[in-house]
Amino acid sequence: MEIQTNEIVRFIKELVHIPSPSGNTEAAIQYMKEFFEENEVPFKITNKGALLATIKGEDDTKHRLLTAHVDTLGGMVKEIKSDGRLKLDKIGGYYWNTVEGEYCTIHTSRGERFSGTVLMHQTSAHVYKGMDDLKRDEKNIEVRVDQEFHSKKDAEEAGVSVGDFVSFNPRFDETESGFVKSRHLDDKASVAILMHLVKQIQKSSIKLPFTTHFLISNNEEIGFGGNSNIPEQTVEYLAVDMGAIGDGQTTDEYTVSICAKDSGGPYHFGFRKHLVELAEKNGIDYKVDIYPFYGSDATAAIRAGADVVHGLIGPGIDASHAYERTHVKSLEHTANLIKSYLQSQLV
């Protein structure tokens, strides 16, 4: 089973162009549904709207579960201003300055879509003095809608209302040097990796040693995407998310990140050692890291009381929760570590 990064990147490109802020992920889940149907993997849609697919293994008494999430950061219309512009409330955890100037789409409850731009109210340099000193916050950030709205009434009559979802455009790009740049690589890069592996397993008729579930969760960015719908036979739970890059971190864009601890505490030590041993045995470049301001679906599952061994790995993502970037080397190493894990014995 040879890893083909070109297919992973193709899946990423398709996924990031499907708007799916937490709470409005039906289109992304539908895409995943069609993928599993095409690859003849049985699945179910949970009451919370996630997707749980299962590949039966040689041992059906003890199960593994891998999860990645299709929900992303986004916004919701908090207020329609008197001039027809929109105030936002955040979906997920990010800083306002990371979306300033970004193109976006307003998804109305009636089904219309309007394009727009996220801007500071005081943007014009020819009008406002000292705008660079103003705080980027919910008071000053607004959406300029690409419609002829002169008033709140104009916007309302067009179908805009409080509670409408706002998605940020991905601006996907792949460079000749192997970098993939886009919003929403968290966590659609990891979903794409799982898709590639599932397709390879089915295509090559590979028999896994243990029944393995693939949970495509849809509420991770708000903290509870993968803490339910865990089959009772599950003994190992691996979240495939991202490795965050910054000062003091070991994670980079060219290796797979193995998380030792996040805001929820340490990950299972034996599981972490198992992943490290697999990486070293198979020549996979990796980094072990700690993320103090991070929480995964595995953390959520443990907090909810799941009796499982839990771990977290993922490709290294620069500028997490902003305009993100990774490299195909990181995608490849992450895919190879998951491939090795799927074919290994239990921790």
Rounded Cα distance, 242 and 234, in Å: 23
pLDDT for position 35: 98
Which 3 state secondary structure label does DSSP give 2?
A: coil
pLDDT for position 1: 81
Burial class (CB in 10 A: 0-12, 13-18, 19+), 162: middle
In the chain, domain spans: 5-72+184-342, 74-168
pLDDT for position 130: 84
Out of 26, 34, 157, 220, the active site residue is 220
Rounded Cα distance, 4 and 27, in Å: 26
Question: Taking Cα atoms as reference points, which of 198, 172, 167, 166 lies closest to residue 185?
Answer: 172
pLDDT for position 131: 84
pLDDT for position 188: 98
Unique residue bearing structure tokens 């001039």: 83
pLDDT for position 93: 97
Low-confidence stretches of the chain (pLDDT < 50) are none
Bridge-based pairing state of the strands 309-317 and 243-244: parallel
Q: What is the pLDDT of residues 109-165, one digit of tens each?
A: 999 999 999 999 999 989 998 888 899 999 999 999 999 999 999 999 999 999 999
Rounded Cα distance, 158 and 108, in Å: 9
Question: Taking Cα atoms as reference points, which of 163, 164, 218 lies closest to residue 191?
Answer: 218
Catalytic site residue 220? yes
For residue 321, say whether it is annotated as part of any ligand binding site: yes
Cα–Cα distances in angstroms (integers) from residue 207 to residues 148, 212, 232, 264, 332, in the given order = 58, 11, 22, 34, 22
Averaged pLDDT of the chain: 97
Q: Determine what percent of the chain is predicted with pLDDT higher than 70.
A: 100
C-alpha of 159 from chain center: 29
Bridge-based pairing state of the strands 234-240 and 59-69: parallel
Rounded Cα distance, 123 and 59, in Å: 61
Report the CATH fold assignment for 5-72+184-342: Aminopeptidase (3.40.630)
For residue 132, say whether it is annotated as part of any ligand binding site: no
One of 3.90.1150.10, 3.40.109.10, 3.40.710.10, 2.40.30.40 is the CATH number of 74-168, namely 2.40.30.40
Residue 225 in tokens: 């995407």
Rounded Cα distance, 306 and 300, in Å: 9
Predicted TM-score (pTM) of this structure? 0.98
Cis peptide before 187 (omega within 30 of 0): yes
pLDDT for position 190: 98
